[in-house]
Amino acid sequence: MTPGTDERILEYMRAEGNMTPLALSRDGEQPRLDKSRQHMSNRLGKLAERGLVYKLDKGLYGLTEAGEAYLDGRLDARSLEPVADLTDPTGPLPGETEK
């Protein structure tokens, strides 16, 4: 994770719901972060790889349970392993076993 930018991405998603890279960027209709759409796309991809966000559709991402746990201080990002399914919003948190 990139402290600062990634945390702000997650905070915006918790407050406003599902987001696209454009909506998070300085180029969006309502600029949120002073970063390019491409940078936001790259960061969302990295966050999805670690299970903090998931892909709803091409270019549309949602916050996962792990993303919520991270924002609440219940999850240390250093414990995150890459996830296999980038489209699963309810995958197990690190340390949990699948049912």
Residue 91 located in a structural domain: no
Looking at residue 77, its pLDDT comes to: 81
**In which domain, by residue range, is 47 found?**
5-78
Could you tell me if residue 98 is inside a domain? no
Q: How many domains does the chain have?
A: 1
Q: Is residue 29 part of a domain?
A: yes
> What was the pLDDT predicted at 99?
37
In this structure, is residue 23 part of a structural domain?
yes
Residue 19 has pLDDT above 70, yes or no: yes
In a domain, 94, yes or no: no
E-strand spans in 32-88?
Answer: 53-57, 60-63
User: Domain with 55 in it: what CATH number?
Assistant: 1.10.10.10
Asked if residue 59 belongs to a domain, the reply is yes
- Give the pLDDT score at 97: 40
- Give 68-87 pLDDT, tens digit per residue: 999 999 998 888 888 877 77
pLDDT at 90 over 60: yes
CA-to-CA distance for 54 and 37, rounded, in angstroms? 18
83 lies in a domain? no
* Residues counted in the chain: 99
pTM of the predicted model over 0.75? yes
